[in-house]
Amino acid sequence: MHFSSFVFIVFVLLWYVRQMWIDFEGLGFAREFTKEKKRTQFHLSTGLVLMFTIGVLMWINFTPDSDKWTTGQTTTFVRDYGWPFNSYRTEETQHWPPAPSILWSLFSNQSTKPVVVSERTLSYVALFFNIAAWLFILRRVWTGWEWWLSCWRTPKQKKSPI
């Protein structure tokens, strides 16, 4: 991970914590603890939009970024999973040993099988940043959709009775 992307993620997380604190103070919890806590409610359409957003994020996250390269008698398959950072990697290397001779490979009952080496790695730091990015995106979609609904459903001005 590059230093600039790390600084960007830290900046986004700090900004998100600040926004959460502003929301916390705006509800009156920081000033008065005597008020009843309001339940978090949102519209049914917000739930549907969040459901589709989560579906898209899961599709992006679980679609592998595959790569294959061959060097001589070695073939390597690499699959990276995760978005926006690659948090899980599977790497499979196949090495084909050379046959002693063409006649041996034609008349021998033994077949040459590749030697396969598999390796799987999981990056907990990238996984943490992926989850943080998902929560940030979902929070922004939630507040943005609720704001749009409140603008769309504003009551029209009442006509004066006179």
The token pair at 79 is 């699959």
Of 49, 63, 7, which is closest to residue 139 (Cα–Cα)? 49
User: 160 falls in which pLDDT band (50, 70, 90)?
Assistant: very low
Give per-residue pLDDT as tens, 85-143.
Answer: 899 999 999 887 766 666 655 666 555 677 888 999 999 999 999 999 999 999 999 98
How many residues are present in the chain?
162
Is residue 58 domain-resident?
A: yes
Rounded CA separation 85/81 (Å):
8
Is residue 23 domain-resident?
A: no
Is residue 12 domain-resident?
A: no
Is residue 13 domain-resident?
A: no
Query: In this model, does residue 57 exceed pLDDT 70?
Result: yes
The mean pLDDT of 71-79, rounded to a whole number, is 87
Is residue 26 domain-resident?
A: no
Is residue 14 domain-resident?
A: no
Is residue 85 domain-resident?
A: yes
Is residue 106 domain-resident?
A: yes
Range of the domain at 67: 42-152
Q: Are strands 88-95 and 74-81 parallel, antiparallel or unpaired?
A: antiparallel
Q: Tell whether omega for the bond before 161 is within 30 degrees of 0, i.e. cis.
A: no
What residues have CB less than 8 Å from 122, skipping those under 6 apart? 87, 88
User: 25 falls in which pLDDT band (50, 70, 90)?
Assistant: low
Domain count, the chain: 1
